[in-house]
Amino acid sequence: MQIADYILIVVLAAAVFSDLKFRKVWNWLTFSAMLLGLVAAYPAKGGIGLIDSLSGLGIMLAVGLIVYLIGFIGAGDAKLLAGIGALAGKSAVFSILIGSAVAGGVMAMVVILYNFRLKRGLGRALSGFGRMAGVKSVYPGAIDENRTRLPYAVAIAAGTIAWMVMR
C-alpha cells in the first residue's frame, strides 16, 4: 500500500463518521483530501502521478457535481468524490463510481423497505420510479415524501474499499 492509500482510509473513516453523526461531510476534510492527493502523487510517480491525480480529481468532481445537481447526493459527497479521485487517480474512477452506486442503491432499498414495510415500500418505490420516469427527473421525495437523506458517504466508502480490495 502507498501513502495515498493510508490517507484514503483515514479520509473515508472521517467522512463516514461525520455523515452518520452530523449528516454532513466537512469541507476541511474534502479539501484536505484533494490537496493531500495531489501532494502525495508527485513523489510516488512524478509528473505522471500528478497528472493522474488531477485527472481523477477533475473527473470525480464533474460526476459529483452532476449527481449533486440531480439531487442524488449532497455537496459534501460531491467534494468527497473529488478528494477520493485525487487520492486514487484516474484509473480508479470508474470502479469507485460503480461500487458506490451499487452500495447506494442497496442502502436506498434497505431504507425504503425498513421505513415503509415490505409491501408498502415496494409499492411506493415503484410509484416513485414511475413518476421519475414520467417527468424524466429525480427529486428528493420522489419515493419518500419525508425526503429521507441517506448518509451517502457510507456508500462512497463502500465503493472505494471494494476498489481497494479488488485491485
* pLDDT the model gives residue 144: 47
Burial class (CB in 10 A: 0-12, 13-18, 19+), 28: exposed
The pLDDT-based confidence of 113 (bands split at 50, 70, 90) is confident
pLDDT grade for 9, boundaries at 50, 70 and 90: very high
Q: Per-residue pLDDT for 155 more than 50? A: yes
**Range of weakest confidence among 21-35, 95-109, 112-126, 138-152:** 138-152
| pLDDT, average across residues 122-146 | 56
